[in-house]
Structures are given as C-alpha cells and as structure tokens.
Chain A
C-alpha cells in the first residue's frame, strides 16, 4: 500500500516535470496545469467507422485552429470505440465518465447507442454533445440541461421535404423506409408537413433493417403509380435502393425524394442512377458561405480528404463547447455559466450560422439539394431556421 502510494506520487511528479519541460515558456497560470478532459465515444470500427473518424477529424480541426485550445484551455482526449453496439454503450460511456473522469462526452453516430449514452449522461449529469445521431428523443422526451446536439433531429430534414413536395404539387405519395426508429421518425416528420399542406400519403411501407430486397416494394410502387416517392435509406442500402429504382425504370416515371442520407457519402457508388434526385439536409456541396470555403480548405489541408456533413457536425461540437468554456472563463466546474453560454451561443458553422432551441437542438436552415455530377448541389433553402418541435421535452 505504502509502496504503491510512493510509486504513484513518483510517477505523478515525473509526469509533471516532463509536462513542464514539454511546454517551454507556457504561462504559469494555476488552471493550465490540468487540461480539459474530452471523451470521444464514437465508432472507429464497423459500418460507421468512416463517420466516427470524420467527426473526430472535425472536432480536432476546431481545436487545432484554436492553437490546441478550446476557450483558452488545453485539451486532453480520451477515446473509446463504441462499435455502434448499443449493448455496450452504458459500459463504454461509464468508462469515460467514471474511470477517465472526462469533463465532456462527445458521441455518437448510431441512434441506439446515443440513446443509451443520453440516459447515462442524465443520471451522472455529465455534459454530453451529440455530433450526429438524429433520434428525436435525444432533444425530445430525454432532453436535459446537460445534453446538447450539433447535428439535427430526424424530424427536421424530413419535415422540410414534406413542404417541398407539397409545393411541387405532388398529391399522392408513397413512402418506404427501414422499420426502425430513425426511419419511422423520418417518415412521420415528412407526413406531418406533407399532409398539413394538403397532400396524401397513399401507402406507408417498411422493411426490416438492414434488408435490401426491394423488388416487391418497387413492383407495388409501379402498380400504385403515385405522383412521387419519399424514402429514408442510408449507406449501402441507399446505394442499392437508388440503383434498383433506376433499374426498375421507375426513375423516369415517378420522381424519387429522400432525406439527405440517401445521397450523402454514397454518390460515387450510385453513379448515374442518382443524377437528378432531390434531397433535404442541413448541409450541401457548394454552399456559398465564406466559413464553409475556409473550413473545406483547412480540412483538406489537414487530412488530405474532402470534409462531409459528419466532419461539419464534429467541428461544430467543438465550437459549441468552446463557446460554453468562454462563457465560464475556462472553468468547467462553473456548470451553470457554461450551460447558459452554450444555450445562448450562435455557432458560425460551415453549414451557415445556427442557434440552439430550448431543447438544445440546432435551429438551422435545411437545404434542398439536387444530385449533379456526383455532388449534392444546393437548389434552395427548403426551410429557413427550422426548429425541432421537441415534443415531450420538459426542461
């Protein structure tokens, strides 16, 4: 016992000296000794690995641009691969919170994992910033003062698309999606706007996740002859759907619409089949925003690859946290000042400036995009400063 204590003290003091040597000329403020501990819980293996890396890159880029600091404080990273496995989520989150004692938790991509993280964050009152997962509940019934989101809610892009399709004078629409909460919430958001504007959803179809045998559904769509089709699919399933829709000859006769994930990160694989498809999302290629141009250049310089919507969301997670730290004078223990500053912040995002709703979800522009030459080109702003209704949030 005694020995262990001594060794621990020895290690600590050596580390202190090493740290001091590594930072020649660092100002000797008391607080610079202990860094802000940032816990990144994201997928680094599996289907969503690319997304987890993009978010991490975006976050670190913002920190780099602040000279390795956020809100004037040095940053130390703690990383856990969540493997997009909801079953392991509470354990992974607790590792970061209890063992690594992080000041803020950043994560994640998969909605199921994010919901579990949200529950842990509520119990332990840990500050959580969600940089992707769109489950409506996170800023709905599960909302909490210490939980923020820098991406979107499933409802937002889908609702905007409902308005767009009604404006295009489509009357009868068929929807198709995977039967899991994100898909169902997307369809619900779409339906809400579309039917309010006088349209009618003639048939709602779902298939089990991650099933991609679309043929019977395509046959049904051909038979129903709706004015248009609204779908939610992402990743490999989105690639397959867009190609099958084209191969079935439906693309020429019945226009296809979707929320942005249908054509984001999938265009290379979809090829010509995706040309002309309209989608809605809070980001697009070729936005005429100075901040976006600067961000894209800096990102490409740092990582030798193009950024995407996920890198933007990671970048904004760091920006939002920085705003909070600035408001609390760099002191994470001043929790109320920190949260108040985050709530009041206007984030200068590459997607365009946004603020946060009362439920801590971005109030943001949703863009209508059209696939042109393998890019999601902006057509117009489909919904200006759209706020999630945050049903069920009491805060």
Chain B
C-alpha cells in the first residue's frame, strides 16, 4: 500500500468511525445515564434512513428531508420516553431487553407496512454531488467529506454541552445520583426526557446522513446495533468521549481489515474488542 492510498483509506476509516460515533453516542448516553439497555437504538437509525428516503421523495431535497426528519425524531423520542421508557428506569435489565426487543419487531413491521421491503437509494443533493480528485485514479465524493465535517461539528457541540453548560452539569449529576439531584429541586424527569430525545435524534440523524452512501434496506438497524454495542463496550459505558475514540478505532480496524485480509473482514472489529477488554475490562474511558 503506497502512502497516498494509505491516506485515503485513513479518510475512509475516519468517515465510517465518525458515523458510528454518531449512532453510538446516543446509545451510550441512554445506557450510561438512564441505565437502560436499548436494543431498539438500531431501529431509530433505520427510522432515520427511511425518513430520509420518504421525505426526499416527497420534497425532492435531502437537506429539507433531514430538517423535517430531525423535528419528527425529537417528537417520536419524547413520545416513546413518555409512553414506554419512563416506566423502565426502575425495572431490571431483563424487562428492558424484552420491551426494547419488542420495539424492534414493531419498527420492522411498521416499516414493512409503510414503505415496503425494497432496497432504496437516496440521491445526494446537487450541491454536494461533486467529487474531488485524490489520486491519479480515484475521486472522493464531496458528500463523504460533508458527512465527516458534520459529525466532527456535532462531537464538539456535544462535548461543550456536557462539559460546560448547566444542562450538561445536571445530566452528569443525574447519571451518578438520581435521588440526590431530585432532592436539590431539579426536574430529573425532564432531564431524562431530553437525554432520551437527544439519543433518538442522534441515531435517526445518523441514519438520514448515511442513507445516500449506504442505501436504505430492511434490517439495516440491527446490523448497526451490534457494532454500536461494541463501540459502547470498548469506549466504556456512558462515556461520550470513549464512544468517539472507540468508534474511530473500529473505523480503522474495519477499513484496514477489509483491505489487508478481505476474507476475514468481519472479524477485525471483534478481535479489537477482545484486545481492548483484556487490557481494560471496563472499556477505555469510564463515565462522562
């Protein structure tokens, strides 16, 4: 592998890793702060992708579809938290797994009823459809650079939100001691609802962003769910910073695994997980 190819593959890894981070950060927030094992998180990702497809077909523009999709996802997130997830905080993990598994089935059936079981492509908006020449044979699509830029921006915003704002402080406090925060007169229920809505929206947004480059197909949520749990486990449960580092590591392992040993492409990520867990059983980082 020559140097320029290496750099381009690095770019591919970064782009994949950042997208994974976007999905996994919501999962780790919900898991780490509210203590809920949310198997339906992949379904939110799929929901986003199908929203991008349907709304783009209606409006003719992906960027408009994304804006409308975000508003819808926030509403759906709040609704789900109010109707279902708020009842789960005090239940044990088995109940959580059962309910969220049921949600996966419901989401798949709903998708099948509303949009059907076909594979769909989503057109890249005109504005971002160009390519940049990176090596003498390879062009790199501008849209992928745009995806990475958006993900980096969101990572920075989230870091700032959790680290330096009052809301972030309450979220951090709520994750370590719910009763104490409540006793101090803070509306912890509202905070949980905001965190959950944020998690759902992040996953759905990732799905919308990924739709043009990864297609929209049944079962796409479950595929991403597994890899996201790997990200959360490697990064450390509840740590957004850890999720970022882990997602980037997985991006590297997956991309270079595919190229160096294509026959074992699926394996690289799990080897990485095993190696990290041997070294640090609780993941690379702990807590927010």
Whether A216 contacts B138 in the complex (CB less than 8 A), given A45-B117, A47-B118, comes out as no
One digit per residue, 1 when the CB lies within 8 angstroms of any chain A CB and 0 when it does not, for chain B 24-41 equals 000000000000000000
B263 beta carbon closer than 8 Å to chain A: yes
Using a Cβ–Cβ cut-off of 8 Å, how many residues does chain A contribute to the interface with B?
37
A210→B117 contact, CB < 8 A: no
Whether A223 contacts B1 in the complex (CB less than 8 A), given A206-B263, A207-B265, A236-B215, comes out as yes
Smallest CB gap from A50: residue in B: B118
A216→B258 contact, CB < 8 A: yes
A237→B119 contact, CB < 8 A: yes
B262→A205 contact, CB < 8 A: yes
Instruction: Please report the C-alpha to C-alpha distance between residue A49 and residue B265 in the assembled complex, in whole angstroms.
Output: 31
Residues of A within 8 A of B137 (CB): 222, 225, 249-250, 253-254
A308-354 contacts to B, CB under 8 A, are none
B213 beta carbon closer than 8 Å to chain A: yes
A215 beta carbon closer than 8 Å to chain B: yes
Residues of A within 8 A of B159 (CB): none
Instruction: Please report the C-alpha to C-alpha distance between residue A46 and residue B137 in the assembled complex, in whole angstroms.
Output: 38
B241-288 contacts to A, CB under 8 A, are 255, 258-259, 262-263, 265-266
Smallest CB gap from B257: residue in A: A216
B177 beta carbon closer than 8 Å to chain A: no
Chain B CB within 10 Å — which of A203, A216, A236 has the most? Answer: A216
Q: Which of A208, A223, A249 contacts B133 (CB 8 A)?
A: A249
A119 beta carbon closer than 8 Å to chain B: no
Q: Which of B139, B259, B265 contacts A208 (CB 8 A)?
A: B265
Interface size class of B (residues with CB under 8 A): 35 or more
B119→A47 contact, CB < 8 A: yes
B2→A236 contact, CB < 8 A: no
A249→B258 contact, CB < 8 A: no
One digit per residue, 1 when the CB lies within 8 angstroms of any chain A CB and 0 when it does not, for chain B 209-253 equals 000011101100001000000000000000000000000000000
Residues of B within 8 A of A237 (CB): 119, 215
Q: Could you say which of B8-16, B101-109, B182-190 contacts chain A? A: B8-16
A222→B135 contact, CB < 8 A: yes
Instruction: Please report the C-alpha to C-alpha distance between residue A269 and residue B121 in the assembled complex, in whole angstroms.
Output: 8
B131 beta carbon closer than 8 Å to chain A: yes
B111 beta carbon closer than 8 Å to chain A: no
Residues of A within 8 A of B266 (CB): 208
B144 beta carbon closer than 8 Å to chain A: yes
Residues of B within 8 A of A218 (CB): 138
Q: List 12 A-B contacts (CB under 8 A).
A: A47-B119, A204-B262, A205-B262, A215-B213, A216-B9, A217-B262, A219-B9, A220-B5, A222-B135, A222-B137, A223-B1, A269-B121
| Interface pairs A-B: 3 shortest CB-CB | A236-B119, A249-B139, A222-B138
